[in-house]
Amino acid sequence: MESFLRERLNCLNCLWDKIWPPENPVVNVNTISSTVQHIYTDLVTALYSFDARSTDELTIEEGEELYKLSDEGEYILARKQTGSMESGLVPASYVAQSGLPGGHYTIQDPWYFEVASRTDAERLLMSPPNAHGSFLVHPSDSTPGQYSLAVRNKDKVTHFCISVSARGEFYIQNEKLFASIKELISFYKVNWKLVKSPLFQSCVWVAYQRDQWERPRIEFKLVKKLGAGNFGEVWEGLWNNKDKVAIKTFKQDHINESDFKKEVDALKSLCHKNLIQLYAVCTVGEPVYIVTELMSKGSLQQFLRGNEGHHLTAANFMHIISQVGDGMVYLESKHVVHRDLAARNVLVGEKLVCKIADFGLARLLKDDLYSLQCNMKIPIKWTAPEVLTYGKYSTKSDIWSYGIMIYEVFMLGQPPYQGMNNQEVMAKLTLGYRLPKPDQCSPDVYKLMLECWQEKPSQRPSFYEFVLKLTAIQHSVQ
Ligand code: AMP
């Protein structure tokens, strides 16, 4: 009703303002829309649904067509075509141009794509079946009304701005002017060497393979760097400016792409109170984000070493260990091998809640980074002998690492095998040496730790068996 009256009788805006005082006097989008409605020409399609977070934003549904009224930095002012005809701000990256900008130029060639941005163009060109020599023309995202040529050259995409001269001719090199983009493309298809980029075949449209986990980058804000790990950086961040999350950033070139997809798919299917929950991923563009729940006290290793570590009781130690055990029983039941279980990869929240992080992520690294030749990357002191010798990871190698993590817990985050280098550790283990019992650890629990470090994997307990025995010890102590 309000928007209807404001639109139809905008000369009475002062009256409407009295009846419906604008909640946000800075941007009253209804007023903006009524003043600018005569200038919109562009139609856009919503790539994603978006829920308005304030009165100046507009809720839209994926696939919905909207009028674009104006560009507002990272947002556009858009107006619905049907129903309420409301208008408001939506993130520019949520929409793609669906009408031709300005309507002055109609391109119906197979190489023309109404993709919204350079990133979309790159996504298309880098997706199979597109290959070396695929190319497309799309509206420029930086200069409305202009166009860009994007060409895939082996594993990278080169972008050319198609400029328009004062006489309306198109060019990418000053001295070569064309009456139409079609002519320009025909010329460079033959003379591609002039731009050192092969225009061999038109790009083929590849639909977004989005799922509920894939979210647009704009939804996330990196707020505070928490650390840097093997794979990239970790940030405390905000999702949609309200929810606190942890954001792991990865550089694409540190990732083996197909493994990455497999691993992330596996993470999506995992849900347990003692595993860090995956919330979302952002794999379009660089760096890749993996968004998870945020744990207020950081890694177990830091926690144990800090002030709070010194106040932990025997019951607290057992609580920490059994929570990690529970999480690992779940992973074992799902046949997921962690590969890097250690206090540094367990995170602590309020009330001593512990959750396992980074499960499966070790596999994401490219083989050459995580190979047996590159010992720096293998946490030798946490790793079972058969992994070091044969590269054979299993839940039985995970339980070896779990035993080491228990040692870390009782030693308040001190590293295992202090004073020994990796080679010495490996040599001594072969001779049957095992870590000694930490002072704060009971003989019963130490017995269990020694079971984790049996040389033959088959002689080590499963996580399920381990947790049963641990629970029995806990009950006998209480
Ligand atoms: P990582 O790369 O997993 O070793 O993470 C580096 C550091 O970032 C850790 O030692 C933690 O202090 C911190 N961190 C990682 N993930 C989270 C999270 N989900 N919540 C809070 N802090 C985290």
Q: Per-residue pLDDT tens for 70-108? A: 788 778 888 887 666 788 888 887 777 654 333 334 456
From the CB of 295, is ligand 1 less than 6 Å away?
yes
Residues 403, 315 share a domain? yes
CATH classification at residue 421: 1.10.510.10
Residues 189, 63 share a domain? no
- Domain end residue (candidates: 207, 242, 263): 207
From the CB of 457, is ligand 1 less than 6 Å away?
no
Residues 361, 278 share a domain? no
Residue 50 lies in a domain: yes
From the CB of 246, is ligand 1 less than 6 Å away?
yes
How would you label 296-309 residue by residue, b for 16+ Cβ within 10 Å and e otherwise? ebbbbbbbbbeeeb
Residues 386, 422 share a domain? yes
Residues 371, 245 share a domain? no
Residues 406, 325 share a domain? yes
299 pairs with which residues across the strands?
347
Identify the weakest region by mean pLDDT among 107-111, 179-183, 241-245: 107-111
Residue 109 lies in a domain: no
Residues 465, 364 share a domain? yes
Give 442: exposed, middle or buried? Use CB within 10 Å, 0-12, 13-18, 19+.
middle
The better pLDDT of the pair 103, 344 is held by 344
Residue 105 lies in a domain: no
Contact 276, 210 (CB under 8 A): no
Residues 181, 57 share a domain? no
Residue 275 lies in a domain: yes
CATH classification at residue 232: 3.30.200.20
- Domain end residue (candidates: 260, 292, 324): 292
Mean pLDDT of 260-273: 75
Query: pLDDT at residue 274 above 60?
Result: yes
From the CB of 301, is ligand 1 less than 6 Å away?
no
Give residue 358 CA to ligand 1 midpoint distance, Å.
9
Mutate which of 225, 234, 297 to test ligand 1's pocket (most atoms within 8 Å of Cβ)?
A: 234
**Number of domains, the chain:** 4
Domain span at 38: 2-88
CATH classification at residue 48: 2.30.30.40
Residues 457, 320 share a domain? yes
Residue 161 lies in a domain: yes
Residue 101 lies in a domain: no
Give how far the C-alpha of residue 118 lies from the chain's centroid of Cα atoms, to the nearest Å: 19
- What whole-number distance in Å separates Cα of residue 467 and Cα of residue 327? 10
From the CB of 226, is ligand 1 less than 6 Å away?
yes
CA-nearest of 201, 190, 298, 292 to 249 is 292
> Does 262 carry a binding-site annotation?
no
Residue 259 lies in a domain: yes
Residue 11 lies in a domain: yes
CA-nearest of 59, 118, 62, 115 to 90 is 59
Please state the atom number of ligand 1 nearest to the C-alpha of residue 358.
Answer: 3
The better pLDDT of the pair 155, 35 is held by 155
Residues 193, 336 share a domain? no
Residues 174, 25 share a domain? no
Give residue 388 CA to ligand 1 midpoint distance, Å.
26
> In this predicted structure, what is the pLDDT of residue 107?
55
Report, as residue numbers or ranges, the catalytic residues.
340
